[in-house]
Amino acid sequence: MFLEEIMSEKKEQYEESALYRIRHSAAHIMAEAVLEKFPEAKFAIGPAIEDGFYYDFDLPRPLTPEDLESIEKRMRGLIQTKGKFERKVVSADEAKAIFKDQPFKLELIDGLEAGELDEDGNPTQEKPEISLYTQGNFTDLCRGPHVEVTTQINPSAIKLLSVAGAYWRGDEKRPMLQRIYGTAWNTPDELKDYLWRMEEAKKRDHRKLGQDLDLYSVVDEIGAGLILWHPKGGKIRKIIENFWSEEHEANGYDFVYTPHIGKAQLWETSGHLGFYKENMYSPLDIDGQQFYLKPMNCPFHIHIYKNSIRSYRDLPIRYAEEGTVYRYERSGVLHGLMRVRGFTQDDAHHFCRPDQMPAEIDFVLDFSLHILRSFGFASINAYLSTKPEKSVGEPERWLAAEAALEDSLKRSGIDYQVDQGGGAFYGPKIDLKVNDALGREWQLSTIQFDFNNPERFDLKFIGEDGQPQRPYMVHRALLGSLERFFGVLIEHYGGAFPVWLSPIQVAMIPIADRHFEYAKDTAVQLRKAGLRVMVDDRSERMNAKIRDAQNQKIPYMLVIGDKEIENNQVSLRLRSGENPGPIAISTFIERAKEDIQRKI
């Protein structure tokens, strides 16, 4: 695939870059410093990663922030020694002799010898040669490449960032090691720039903004991963939902509503108790019958479909619901709005005839892109996941569905990658991911075929020949979950939502008490025009009111004093700091309406 080539090319470029060598070498120098401090340390792997590097160690005690400081300081000292990085190819036996006290290295050498795994533990085809790199008093099993001399690393452009636990080989059944993360750059300025970017990202963190802007909260007394939407967050959600409903209404969806619990038998039939039980909560006992809180909406929609005999003339049928589901997530993975235990999916299920399937996929893909773009996400990437080894459904159906998905992607013109074998066992899928304002990627939409449930629930429609046939079923969520989508929106806009989404669009700022009445009258006019307005009638100075409105990221501030009242105007200030100045109220309304229309 085109994009795939670009991506792998980018990765190759990085791996051949000077920066990559610097980071990889910094990891070795860090390991040398750690080994000096803890001679009994067992060291595992230490690659360069995006923006930095890490190294995993098994150490006699947990590392403290002071340890990081001293290790970092020692690294600077080691760099000054001008040690050369020297490469040497050895046999497996020689390597084992050198690393006889290093069990992780021995395991890696075994892997290399068997020709199955490379030094990062990744599968490899050919049997690689075993190479060592030595600098100073430290020798590591490593493929390289490295810098030639330690002084090619600028000691003022490195920084150790954090220590974290990491399982050996990423396997939770194996020992947990201590991973030290660090970052390294060509110059101190680049390091400064990187640290600045991290600070900026922190300021946009939806958890911080959610608090500062009073959008939502999660409280201990209610429970982890359970979201309270405050009035301002609720306002935004309502706007999103209204837009969503209008668009769905206009595009042939029917709205359905379904309960939050269902009998154990339902989840047996759907296969959730077989395949998804880990993520479901314990059952409730109601009059001796077991009920489960729903982790998904599909079985309910399916029963609505099954409630009547369906003719081929009725299809496609599209059922949409903002369905609230509950899934057990391990405590360590919960994260603000992004990963929660109760959330609302903008869910829908399509039931169609096999011959309608390509058109149906075209439709749903276009519709998804339209919705995402409406929220200001211009950069969208698609990922097509195909049949895994273990799967249900006839192979011909898989091929037809995969072809339909890929053809649609081609027609849509967006970039996509293929994840061979990455589909769910019940069907292939397209995932859409957006890039936010900081270039970070977030998965939102998912469009999934389901070959499993039509069988399990024995779905039918009556064909032209009067015989029952099996419909295709597509499951899709465009925003994903409203919670997660909201989190992504907050970070994308840094809390400065476009006017159409802003919970408060206009702050009226009367300068003195005598301007209150005019401000309130104007507010009434603006509200009649459909704008969301607040009047700041506190006994505060104008500067303070402006500051507060700025901090609330309210798009328009209208300052009102003697001059404005005299000329029947308002003085416009924007949250960008721009100050267009006095304009007629009607002119302002026009401008605001246009911005809302354009969703900016």
Partner RNA sequence: GCCACCGUAGCUCAGCUGGCAGAGCAGACGUUUCGUAAACGCCAGGUCAAGGGUUCGAUUCCCUUCGGUGGCUCCA
Catalytic positions: 298, 327, 345, 347, 349, 429, 475
Neighbours of 448 (CB within 10 A): 21
Q: Which of 140, 178, 186, 157 is nearest to 28 (CA)?
A: 140
Helix count and strand count (H, E) for the chain: 19, 28
374, 524, 593 from 500: Cα distances, Å: 11, 19, 9
Question: In this structure, are residues 476 and 446 in contact, taking their beta carbons and an 8 Å threshold?
Answer: yes
Tell me how far, at minimum, the Cβ of 571 lies from RNA, in Å.
3
Query: Please, what sign has the CA dihedral across residues 532, 535, 536, 538?
Result: negative
Q: Which residue has the tokens 């969806």?
A: 253
Least separation in angstroms between CB 16 and RNA: 24
Type of residue at 443: Q
> With respect to RNA, which residue has the nearer C-beta, 444 or 557?
557
Q: What is the maximum alpha-carbon separation in the chain?
A: 93
Query: Closest separation between CB of residue 20 and RNA, Å?
Result: 18
Number of neighbouring beta carbons within 10 Å of residue 43: 25
The whole-angstrom separation of Cα 451 and Cα 472 is: 7
Least distance from C-beta 546 to RNA, angstroms? 4
Q: CB-based burial of residue 160 (10 Å sphere; 0-12 exposed, 13-18 middle, 19+ buried)?
A: buried
Residue nearer to RNA on the CB measure, 322 or 564: 564
Closest contact distance (angstroms) between CB of 94 and RNA is 30
- 124: region left, alpha or beta (phi > 0 left; psi from -120 to 50 alpha): beta
Nearest distance, CB of residue 114 and RNA, angstroms:
22
Q: Check if the beta carbon of residue 483 is closer than 8 Å to that of residue 340.
A: yes
Residue closer to RNA (CB basis): 385 or 412: 385
Smallest distance from RNA to CB 544, Å? 4
Q: CA 97 to CA 35: how far, in whole Å?
A: 18
Q: Which structure tokens are listed for 48? A: 């360069």
- Rounded to a whole number of angstroms, the minimum distance from the CB of residue 383 to RNA is 11
Q: Whole-angstrom Cα distance, residue 356 to residue 590?
A: 44
Closer of 138 and 216 to RNA (Cβ): 216
130 or 526: CB nearest RNA: 526
User: Three-state DSSP class for 29?
Assistant: helix
Q: How far apart are CA 488 and CA 481, in angstroms?
A: 11
Report residue 127 as tokens.
Answer: 């049997």
Q: What's the number of CA atoms in the CB half-sphere (13 Å) around residue 445?
A: 25
Cβ-based nearer residue to RNA, 146 or 476: 476
Q: Please count the residues of the chain.
A: 600
CB nearer RNA, residue 132 or residue 506: 506
Do 215 and 86 form a contact (C-beta atoms < 8 A)? no
* Comparison of 286 and 512: residue with beta carbon closer to RNA: 512
DSSP state, residue 511: S
Any residues with CB less than 8 A from the CB of 431 and at least 6 apart, and which? 382, 383, 385, 443, 445, 446, 447
Question: What is residue 61's DSSP assignment?
Answer: S
Cα–Cα distance measured from residue 261 to residue 251, given in angstroms and rounded to the nearest whole number? 29
User: C-beta of 375: minimal distance to RNA in Å?
Assistant: 22
The smaller minimum CB distance to RNA, of residues 146 and 169, is found at 169
> C-beta of 220: minimal distance to RNA in Å?
5
Among residues 171 and 465, whose Cβ is nearest to RNA? 171
Interface positions with RNA (CB under 7 A) = 62-64, 162-167, 170-172, 176, 178-179, 181, 205, 207, 211, 218, 220, 223-225, 271-272, 275-276, 295-296, 329-336, 339, 424-426, 511-514, 539-544, 546-547, 550-551, 557, 559, 561-564, 571, 573, 575, 577, 579, 581-582
Helix axes 18-37, 2-16, angle to 10 degrees: 50
Instruction: Enumerate residues 6+ apart whose C-beta is below 8 A from 92.
Output: 109, 112, 113, 130
**Separation in Å, CA 415 to CA 412, 430, 432:** 9, 12, 10
**How far from 456 is each of 152, 271, 453, CA to CA, in Å?**
63, 8, 5
Q: At its nearest, how many Å lie between RNA and the CB of residue 151?
A: 30
CA atoms within 13 A on the CB side of 42: 14
Amino acid at 319: Y
| 191 touches 206 (CB < 8 A) | no
Nearer to RNA, 347 or 360 (CB): 347
